[in-house]
Amino acid sequence: MEETEAGRTLTAETRRDLMQSGVHRLYQPKRFGGAEGSLRAGVDILAAIGQGCSATAWVLVQNLTHNWMVAEWPIEAQESVWGEEPAALLSGILIPGVGKARRVEGGYRLSGRWPFLSGVNVCDWALFTAFTDGPNGEKEDRHFLLPRSDFEIHDTWRSVGLRGTCSNDAEVNDAFVPECMTTTIESLKGAVPPPGADALSLYCPRYAMFGVYISAAALGSAEAAVAAYVDQAKKRVARSSSTAVASFMTQHIKISEALASLRAARLMLYGVCDLATEILASGRLPDDEERTRFRSEAAFAGRLLTQAVNIVWDAGGGAVIYDQNPLSQAFRDASTAARHLTQNWDINAAAHGRVVIGLPIDNPSL
């Protein structure tokens, strides 16, 4: 973890381990060697890795979810990405406003510079987005798959937290993207599973669940932070009174509150996964209220996780401000993760609340 933090990127060894383990292939179709795993399994995997390294878990979210998205691409695109290297690592960014695409014969010419491509330094392919003209003249959010050779990485990732995620800028300069290597945001909104389908996760709306897995990575990091604090509290002695900190009732309360926040967040993430699975198993897609609820509850879980880390950070005294204290990095990483769009409580809660009250959905990705 220290090497990843200092280098601001995953190490070559970590990249190798990810590819060999295949954890990022949880939602890859079996025809390419993927697991077609359950929605809940993603929470467990990301949380477990987050306990060891928050940056690796964060990058794995991108690898795992972008693989999941590619499963909705035309089969020609899937074969291009996974045909020669089934364990390919994918990065991506979903900010269409900064890209420019124009239709040409056989596909599109794409240009732009996108920020925040987590894991881009170690990826084989990346997903970019830009607005194109739809069939009726409307703006269409189109997604493009490009190999690593078709874009340039700019070393911009000097951040407060999640330093090891190499979330650099990537620039595309008039690259040709064949039609089959593109899709629209509409194709990522899921499909009704056929009767008896086993891999229900492959039919799930992708963007509705993205926040669940961002929060799952943060869950592991928060669990590690609270565990580290409990270990420290058992040994600490207050310098002002030479009294064991473990004897303070205030510490008991804070530890219990932090642990309750962790458990509530995990149960909420499981709940979203289980509800989505139940809905798909019934032979339908989640409706507007349910999709916005998934996003809202994922953001609320993230809020609980930030709260848990802040509780032990505040309780830790002056020692936590030193870089060598694990709570220092945990605090920085949690604060950074909370800035992700899927973790923004106001935005995601408002999107859900307006649908509940009878107004139309206003998030085009859902």
- H or E element in which residue 57 lies: helix 54-70
Residues 55, 17, 262, 94: is their CA dihedral positive or negative?
Answer: positive
Burial group, residue 160, by CB count within 10 angstroms (0-12, 13-18, 19+): exposed
| 344 vs 347: CA distance, rounded Å | 6
Beta-carbon-side half-sphere exposure of residue 241 (alpha carbons within 13 Å): 7
pTM: 0.94
Q: What is the pLDDT of residue 316?
A: 87
Token pair for 167: 């979330």
Question: What's the confidence (pLDDT) of residue 191?
Answer: 81
Domain ranges, ordered by start, for the chain: 2-188, 200-356
Tell me the pLDDT tens digit for each residue of 119-176: 999 999 999 999 998 777 778 899 999 999 999 999 999 999 999 999 999 999 999 9
3-class SS at 108?
A: strand
Structure tokens at 308: 């848990």
* Confidence band, pLDDT 50/70/90 cuts, at residue 238: low
The pLDDT, as a whole number, for residue 286 is 96
Separation between Cα atoms, residue 16 and residue 100, nearest integer Å: 34
Q: Which two tokens stand for residue 121?
A: 């330094």
Q: What is the CATH number of domain 200-356?
A: 1.20.140.10
Q: Report CA Rg, the chain.
A: 21
Burial of 350 (0-12, 13-18, 19+ CB in 10 A): middle
Query: Per residue in 29-73, pLDDT tens?
Result: 999 999 999 999 999 999 999 999 999 999 999 999 999 999 999
Report the pLDDT value the prediction gives residue 189, as an integer from 0 to 100: 87
Give the three-class secondary structure for 184: strand
Annotation: CATH topology of 2-188: Butyryl-CoA Dehydrogenase, subunit A; domain 2 (2.40.110)
* Closest among 55, 60, 115 to 336, alpha carbons compared: 55
